[in-house]
Amino acid sequence: MAVYDTDTEVDDGPDVDLVVDLDQDQQNHDSGEWQKNTNGFPKLPRFSAQPGIKVALSDDPSPLEVYKLFITDQLINSWKIETNRYARAIINSKDQQLLSNHSRFKLWKPVTLRGMWNFISICIHMGLDKKPTFHDYWTHHPVLHSSFAPKVMVRERLLSILVFLHINYNASFVPHGQPDHDPIQKIRPFVDHLNAKFKELYQSQREVCIDEALVPFKGHSKFKVYMKDKLTK
């Protein structure tokens, strides 16, 4: 380690007016002006896509028309197939002699494509018309009564579909900790379908702003995180 006497002059290179340079840099910072410095930045290909909707719509499309661009008969039919498959597997695993005549397992009838659509329509209706309990959608109480759900499907039928509802084939499940385990295996076909539809139906602009969304949740989930510095932990 070199030791210098305080009176010894050390050649630190040519004199530079740092005060002027710092003042100029501060002025640029205060003015909010961006300084163009793209050294080391990757060269992006030229954006040549045509942003906007990629399918033809009517002049005044209804919400249902737009909805069915994403939620198609083909998708709902796959839900019907998996729901019926799961129902058969569960019912066949039960001892029929131990089931009561009013058991959902004995009363089950395979759901149809129309039945699945009716089921979804009631689920959407429940999100729009909030009631204290599930059973209130079929109540005759004059304060809570609504006619939509009872006209579309009887309560016990909807509950049966809800019990057996499946989106993916259970045999494709890979246990946690094993290679190729998919934490969202239960809904994987639905997620893949939506991702494909988003790409098929709409072309985004070149510049895309993505923001996060936090959902408060206290149940059990592998995706749940604790954020101590957030209002919603």
Specify whether the CB–CB gap between 175 and 122 falls below 8 A.
no
Distance CA 70, CA 29 (A): 47
- Asked if the structure places residue 91 within a domain, the reply is yes
Specify if 141 maps to a domain: yes
**Residue 87 · residue 164 · CB < 8 Å:** yes
User: Model pTM?
Assistant: 0.74
Residue 231, domain member (yes or no): no
Q: Classify 104 as helix, strand or coil.
A: helix
Q: How many residues does the chain have?
A: 233
Confidence of residue 72 (pLDDT cuts 50, 70, 90): very high
CA distances from 193 to 161, 185, 200 (A): 22, 13, 10
pLDDT of residue 157: 95
Quick one: tokens of 57?
């719509």
Domain count within the chain: 1
Specify if 77 maps to a domain.
Answer: yes
112 belongs to a structural domain: yes
Residue 2 has pLDDT above 50, yes or no: no
Q: What does pLDDT average to over the chain?
A: 85
* Residue 137, domain extent: 63-203
191-207 pLDDT per residue, tens: 999 999 999 999 999 88
pLDDT confidence of residue 223: 80
State the pLDDT at residue 219: 85
Flag whether 33 is in a domain: no
Instruction: Give exposure, 83-107, as e/b (b: 16+ Cβ within 10 Å).
Output: bbbbbeeebeeeeeeeeeeeebbee
Q: What is the pLDDT of residues 203-229, one digit of tens each?
A: 999 888 888 877 888 888 878 888 888
Question: Does the residue 224 lie in any domain?
Answer: no
Residue 28: inside a domain: no
* Most confident range, picked from 178-182, 186-190, 205-209, 222-226: 186-190
Q: What is the pLDDT of residue 45?
A: 85
